[in-house]
Amino acid sequence: TNLTHHPTHNPTPTHAPDHPAYVIYTSGSTGRPKGVVNTHRNVVRLFDATRKWFGFGPDDVWTLFHSYAFDFSVWELWGALLHGGRLVVVPFEVSRTPGAFLDLLADERVTVLSQTPSAFYQLTQADADASRPSRRLGLRTVVFGGEALMPSRLADWYARHPDDAPVLVNMYGITETTVHVTYQPLNRHRATAAAASVIGLGLPDLRTYVLDGGLQLVVPGVVGELYVAGAGVARGYLGRPGLTAERFIADPYGSEPGARMYRTGDLVRWNQDGELEFIGRADHQVKIRGFRIEPGEIEAVLTDHPYVAEAAVVVRHEQSGDARLVAYVVAWEALRAEDVREFARERLPEYMVPAAVVLLDRMPLTANGKLDKAALPEPDFSVPAAGREARTPQEQLVCDLFAQVLGLPRVGVDDHFFDLGGHSLLATRLIAQIRAVFGVELELRSLFEGPTPAAVAALLDTAGPGRLALTVRQRPPVIPLSSAQRRLWFLHRMEGPSATYNIPLVIRLSGELDRDALRAALGDVVARHESLRTVFPEAEGVPCQQVLAPETAVPRLTITPTTETELPAALEAGARYAFDLTTEPPLRAELFTLSAQEHALLVVVHHIAGDGWSMGPLSRELTEAYTARVQGQAPDWPALPVQYADYTLWQNELLGDQNDPDSLFATQINYW
């Protein structure tokens, strides 16, 4: 009635095309999920943009295989409903039982299937099971997404379906761009020839850029980060304007003012055919013992094994702090883990060979059909001892040292160090333990040449005497500098006070903060480590170490009020503090207060007193000390066996005078 009486009235519709249609949460690097807001317009344009390739219609039968918390469900739900098709909701138990899922596909005459590669690989294994009755499927289209696809894994599927194989399509996508971004049809040739995951070209209404760190376009063949712009880009993250501004940034190549592009964090490159190849996540590389490793490279090698159907490589962190590569393998036929590891060793450098191979019946999947890394079982390194028992006390002691370094309950005298998960860094630790226990010096290569307790024990009687032991030293009136300290001192004197060698550590603190306890905790840590209260004056023109008394070196805790917006700049300014190493201890602390319940603690350490690895023990001990001080106690720490000044005196005594041609120092310099 109102509209009749007031024809000029134009009320706002309840749901306009650019209003939110759904919010789907994705994992966040901080552990806090972020909700992606997508619009009604984006959902409809997804199917408008892809209609020419698929020709979906009312005769199609789709599956709702994925959780509606995974954006693949948007494609599955609205793909059926917007085209008048039928949607089959797959029970959870069936989705995790490939054989039962194959039966459902046949019974329901499903024509359109959406799958993650991990789920489809399991489906192909069930399809290849000779004990199952063969059933003809009515699939017309299979769309892959959610994970990198290895085309070679599809060859067996094509071989078993020479006449009724559906059209297989690889579609890369991300939640922030309304499900799908690219389109790449596959064929039998690609399934046997392609080594990389080819994701094809962007949808017609999207723009895909491959950019370097300076947002410049890279040339074909060069790996860069994928950015996506155009009609399918989401509105942003719900209630997270800062994060939205960080990831949804201005498009410098857009033709319209205000155009945005989304930074995906995925690494891609243009191949010689003008198609995009997916390389991996920019943040999926791992660093183990100084080597940067892409687990996907190792997985690709393992799946080249004729009996390996699937492979996943993850990093396991041991209680000792050591990191190890572990491979999880699903095999077509009976296979030994040792055979898989030997296969990898023949094709990969030592640092990329998995420390353990775990054989599985099938890979665990998340509710979204992706690999569930949290459900992968822990590897068992406790391999039973093989062969004979130790015959001498030396052999038994070496077995015990092997077990101690490897973190195993026991090791047999003929067990292989590297087959039990050993690597070059652990080998160095083992040689050091042997040196400390037996007082002899073994070369590291001797362990690589004979990696069993029996072989090592056989060398003990002929090994040379061990190096000088590192113990507490009598302090002279003037303590010299170590080699590392001399380098940093020289640069400090040449440049003057600067922030070039500062190492910042930032700890976010939420909740009620006891500032007095924090000040006391900082004092506890500095008192425990002499290197954090050492200054470097000159004595008669020669630099030296002067260790300050704990009570005179308690760090001053600077309090700086700030806001969440101003915090990054404030932290950067604080991290640029210039130490005067001749008079000032090499540690500084500043507390930034954002509110009564939110703080950020910045601890800056000069490189002359620590390195990147030092930040772990520093943060742990600071936490322990603060916890104790809040409870009105001092931290209960065991005394340190040596301090850095002891190490300096030991190093100078061991290496000798560099001007003495017979000293170890001169011998090593001449060698290098």
Amino acid letter for position 224: G
Supply the pLDDT for residue 624.
Answer: 95
Give the tokens for residue 649: 């005196």
Distance CA 449, CA 435 (A): 18
Residues 94-129: tens digit of each pLDDT = 887 888 899 999 999 999 999 988 888 888 888 887
Supply the pLDDT for residue 292.
Answer: 62
The answer to whether residue 380 scores a pLDDT higher than 60 is yes
* Sign of the CA dihedral running 81, 84, 85, 91: positive
Q: Which of 266, 198, 201, 235 is nearest to 50 (CA)?
A: 201
Q: Please give the residue that has the higher pLDDT: either 571 or 150.
A: 571
pLDDT band at 441 (very low <50, low <70, confident <90, very high): confident
The answer to whether residue 485 scores a pLDDT higher than 80 is yes
Residues 422-431: tens digit of each pLDDT = 877 788 889 8
The answer to whether residue 32 scores a pLDDT higher than 70 is no
3-state secondary structure of 379: coil
pLDDT band at 23 (very low <50, low <70, confident <90, very high): very high
Task: Give whole-number Cα distances, 516 to 80, 507, 623, in Å.
Answer: 63, 17, 14
The answer to whether residue 31 scores a pLDDT higher than 80 is no
159: Cβ contacts below 8 Å, ≥ 6 apart: none
Task: Give whole-number Cα distances, 169 to 85, 115, 116, 426, in Å.
Answer: 20, 10, 12, 45
Give the tokens for residue 538: 């000159």
Q: Which of 381, 379, 370, 380 is nearest to 310 (CA)?
A: 370
Residues 187-219: tens digit of each pLDDT = 776 655 555 688 999 999 999 999 998 899 999
Which of 298-302, 355-359, 446-450, 518-522 shows the highest mean pLDDT? 518-522
In this prediction the pTM is 0.53
pLDDT band at 57 (very low <50, low <70, confident <90, very high): very high
Supply the pLDDT for residue 417.
Answer: 86
The answer to whether residue 2 scores a pLDDT higher than 50 is no
Give the tokens for residue 299: 């997985």
Residues 389-403: tens digit of each pLDDT = 788 999 999 999 999
CA angle at residue 617 from 612 to 619, to 5 degrees? Answer: 90
Residue range 589-616: mean pLDDT, rounded: 94
Amino acid letter for position 193: A
Residue range 297-322: mean pLDDT, rounded: 81
Distance CA 491, CA 488 (A): 5
Supply the pLDDT for residue 7.
Answer: 41
DSSP 194-238: --SEEEEEE-TTEEEEEE-TTSPBPPTTS-EEEEEEETT---EET
Least confident of 416-430, 492-506, 632-646: 416-430
Supply the pLDDT for residue 230.
Answer: 92
3-state secondary structure of 65: coil
Half-sphere exposure in the Cβ direction for 169 (13 Å, CA) = 20
Supply the pLDDT for residue 101.
Answer: 92
Give the tokens for residue 359: 């054989």
